[in-house]
Amino acid sequence: MTVQRTLSILKPDATERNLTGAINAMFEKNGFRIVAQKRLRLTKEQAEGFYAVHKERPFYGELVSYMMSGPVVVQVLEKENAVQANRDLMGATNPANADEGTIRKTFAESIERNSVHGSDSLENAATEIKFFFTDAEIVG
Ligand code: IDP
Ligand code: MG
């Protein structure tokens, strides 16, 4: 196994409920290092661009509005096998299907307001990290 970096987003439902620390405590407890982090409000262009892969899905418009509805925290997580490890810790997209102990089972409100984003492949992780961070902003 090799050390990887993956993009994580704490979504507006998490910032709204003041859960950024509680969620990041779960990441750190599970061995992830947060090597880059910023809090921002996504513009329409950023939200649409980030989720462009879902453009044809029926929930795309609502997803874009939701992601712009409050602050988000974008961050880079580092760990061995970080991409899959983060997906495992996040749990299923729909919290109703998420395993006990996962972030989404613990905190998510619905299939849309599911508290966290995580890259789904090493290739997408690299693209998504570049979407938000320059190399100089990542400090391992
Ligand atoms: P993922 O975040 O687990 O990778 P994706 O299928 O990539 O799930 O969907 C991206 C995001 O779109 C989800 O995290 C969730 O916020 C939202 N989403 C996914 N499916 C639905 C749906 O059926 N209704 C509303 N929102 C959805
Ligand atoms: Mg996804």
Q: Whose CA is nearest to atom 27 of ligand 1?
A: 112
How far is residue 7's CA from residue 130's CA, in Å, rounded to a whole number? 9
Decide: 59 in ligand 1 pocket, CB within 6 A.
Answer: yes
Calculate how far, in angstroms, residue 54's C-alpha sits from the geometric centre of ligand 2: 9
pTM over cut 0.85: yes
Specify the DSSP class assigned to residue 22.
H
Using pLDDT thresholds of 50, 70 and 90, give the confidence band for residue 64. very high
Cβ of residue 109 lying under 6 Å from some atom of ligand 1 = no
Question: Catalytic site residue 54?
Answer: no
- Confidence band, pLDDT 50/70/90 cuts, at residue 1: confident
Question: With the C-alpha atoms ordered 5, 6, 10, 12, is the resulting torsion angle positive or negative?
Answer: positive
C-alpha span between 102 and 88 (Å, rounded): 7
**Structure confidence by residue, pLDDT tens digits, 69-121:** 999 999 999 999 999 999 999 999 999 999 999 999 999 999 999 999 999 99
Beta strands in the chain (DSSP E): 3-10, 33-40, 72-80, 116-118
Over residues 28-51, the pLDDT tens digits come to 999 999 999 999 999 999 999 999
Nearest-ligand number for the alpha carbon of 57: 1
At residue 137's C-alpha, the angle toward residues 70 and 139, to 5°, is 115
